[in-house]
């Protein structure tokens, strides 16, 4: 049986998830075969394949998965394929060990802040294990409790690197990273965020070669977050094509995919609590113009950052994220929230989100076009034609 999260998972549950992920690939490929040039269907296949790969990694860590790999290795006559299976087995064993260690730490009550204190570090917050946090589902954002100053001393994590080099060197999950550049908002904007009790940290742009570090942070958060089904984690190759911005501890970040803002995240133990708004502002300053999300709690957050809803797409069970929990999201249209397409308008910063705002479209790609075509000052339409939302 499964151990309590974040502990090891059991074979039957992950096997069922793997079978479901495989079925999604078959369904997506069948739809694409009927219309090979359809961009949305191509993305659907890619997303299904990525979800299957991630689930297979989890299955390889289960007792049944490891036994199957051992059997396959013993029966494999090709040395290269056998070596590939052996690498999967080793990775599964490492993941199992990490899950077991995570559970041990959770049972002992040892969290990241205690570890930081054991090393002589402290972020200045008042510990409050009972403080509730609202999980921001659609991009796996987690709001932190207010703690210390927004821009405290981070010299432990940000080193000077080689003498004479202008680039700092970051330590993220044991990886030494040298970013290609850094981005800091103007003083007046940082002071404005601070006046609202929000952090506005410097963001460091990763080299494309370090895309795996960004993806690791996304995956780590999805493993901890009960709302993990509500966002797409891209493949490493896809992240290499994006601009990836992170805080100096790597615990919060935002990515730019051309003019689209994607994969924003923030761990609860990030050194910069409540930094999402300033990260979004930084992303817009670098050319981010649009985003989309499920109509859960995030449209309200994005509206405050200056994003306006320009279109929406009704929920379709055929495109539900893997292991979507309808009960968990029940308060959002019975667990079937719309996808909301939003565009940035600097004149609408501090705005309010009106539930149901944005005209319904029939296709995801049309929603993208609407967001790309939006110009500041354009009015948006609110309609609920053919839909009922509670």
What CATH number corresponds to the domain at position 153?
Answer: 3.40.630
Whether residue 296 sits in one domain with residue 153: yes
- Count other Cβ atoms within 10 Å, centred on residue 154: 18
In a domain, 311, yes or no: yes
- The string of pLDDT tens digits covering residues 44-81 is 888 888 889 888 999 999 888 888 999 999 999 999 99
pLDDT beneath 50: ranges in the chain: 110-166, 381-390
pLDDT at 9: 77
How high is the pLDDT of residue 227?
Answer: 67
Q: Are residues 151 and 103 in the same domain?
A: no
pTM attached to this predicted model: 0.58
Q: Which domain holds residue 91?
A: 11-111
In a domain, 128, yes or no: no
Q: What is the pLDDT of residue 106?
A: 72
Domain count for the chain, please give it. Answer: 2
191 and 293 within one domain = yes
Cα gap 388→390, rounded to integer Å? 7
- Contact indicator for 232, 47 with CB cutoff of 8 Å: yes
Could you say which of 111, 137, 167 is where a domain stops? Answer: 111
pLDDT for the residue numbered 255 = 96
Question: Quick check: 138 and 262 in contact, CB under 8 A?
Answer: no
In a domain? residue 384? no
Same domain as 176, residue 229: yes
Q: Are 49 and 171 part of one and the same domain?
A: no
Q: What angle do CA 139, 141, 143 make, to 5 degrees?
A: 160
In contact, 150 and 273? CB cutoff 8 Å: yes
Residues 99-125, buried b or exposed e (16+ Cβ, 10 A)? beebbeeeeeeeeebeeeeeeeeebeb
Please report the pLDDT score of residue 38 as a whole number. Answer: 85
Let me know whether 277 and 329 are in one domain: yes
| Domain match, 255 and 317 both | yes
Output the pLDDT for position 51.
86
**DSSP designation for 345:** -
Question: What integer pLDDT is reported at residue 5 of this predicted model?
Answer: 67
Residue 382, domain member (yes or no): no
Same domain, yes or no: 19 and 81 = yes
Strands 359-361 and 307-313: parallel
Same domain for 206 and 350, yes or no, is yes
DSSP code at position 154: -
Do 102 and 153 belong to one domain?
Answer: no
Answer yes or no: do 74 and 174 share one domain.
Answer: no
Residue 387 forms part of a structural domain:
no
pLDDT at 136: 36
pLDDT of residue 228: 56
Judge if 185 and 324 occupy the same domain.
yes
Name the residue among 192, 217, 153 with its Cα closest to residue 278.
192
Is the bond preceding residue 209 a cis peptide, omega within 30 degrees? no
Q: Is the distance from CB of 313 to CB of 364 less than 8 angstroms?
A: yes
In a domain, 3, yes or no: no
Residues of the chain by 3-state class (helix, strand, coil), percent to 5: 45, 15, 40
DSSP-derived 3-state class of residue 372 = helix
Task: Give me the residues paired with residue 309 across strands.
Answer: 342
Q: What is the pLDDT of residue 164?
A: 35
Backbone angles phi, psi at 95, to 5 degrees: -60, -40
**Residue 89 belongs to some domain of the structure:** yes
| pLDDT score for 345 | 96
In a domain, 74, yes or no: yes
Contact 133, 108 (CB under 8 A): no
Instruction: Tell me the C-alpha distance between 308 and 351, whole Å.
Output: 8
Q: Burial level of 87, CB count in 10 A (0-12/13-18/19+)?
A: exposed
Q: For residue 309, which of 206, 387, 382 has the smallest C-alpha distance?
A: 382
């Amino acid at each position: 049986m499964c151990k309590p999260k974040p502990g090891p998972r059991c074979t039957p549950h992950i096997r069922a998830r793997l079978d479901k992920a495989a079925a999604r690939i078959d369904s997506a490929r069948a739809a694409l075969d009927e219309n090979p040039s359809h961009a949305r269907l191509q993305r659907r296949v890619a997303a299904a394949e990525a979800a299957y790969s991630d689930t297979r990694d989890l299955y390889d860590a289960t007792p049944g998965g490891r036994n199957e790999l051992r059997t396959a290795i013993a029966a494999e006559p090709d040395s290269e394929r056998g070596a590939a299976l052996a690498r999967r087995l080793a990775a599964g064993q490492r993941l199992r060990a990490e899950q077991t260690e995570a559970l041990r730490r959770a049972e002992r009550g040892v969290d990241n802040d205690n570890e930081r204190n054991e090393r002589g570090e402290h972020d200045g917050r008042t510990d409050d294990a009972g403080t509730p946090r609202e999980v921001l589902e659609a991009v796996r954002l987690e709001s932190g409790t207010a703690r210390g100053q927004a821009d405290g001393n981070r010299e432990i994590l940000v080193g000077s690197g080689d003498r004479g080099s202008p680039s700092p060197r970051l330590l993220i999950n044991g990886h030494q990273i040298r970013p290609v550049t850094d981005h800091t908002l103007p003083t007046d904007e940082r002071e404005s965020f601070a006046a609202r009790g929000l952090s506005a940290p410097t963001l460091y742009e990763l080299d494309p070669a370090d895309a795996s570090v960004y993806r690791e942070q996304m995956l780590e958060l999805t493993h901890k977050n009960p709302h993990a089904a509500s966002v797409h984690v891209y493949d490493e190759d896809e992240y290499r094509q994006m601009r990836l911005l992170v805080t100096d501890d790597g615990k919060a970040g935002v990515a730019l995919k051309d003019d689209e803002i994607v994969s924003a995240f923030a761990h609860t133990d990030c050194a910069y609590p409540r930094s999402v708004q300033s990260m979004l502002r930084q992303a817009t300053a670098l050319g981010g113009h649009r985003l989309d999300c499920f109509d859960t709690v995030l449209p309200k957050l994005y509206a405050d950052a200056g994003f306006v809803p320009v279109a929406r797409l009704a929920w379709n069970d055929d495109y539900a994220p893997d292991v979507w929990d309808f009960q968990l999201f029940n308060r959002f249209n019975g667990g079937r929230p719309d996808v909301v397409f939003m565009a940035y308008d600097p004149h609408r910063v501090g705005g309010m989100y009106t539930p149901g705002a944005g005209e319904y479209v029939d296709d995801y790609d049309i929603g993208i076009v609407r967001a790309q075509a939006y110009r500041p000052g354009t009015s948006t339409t609110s309609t609920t034609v053919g839909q009922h939302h509670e």
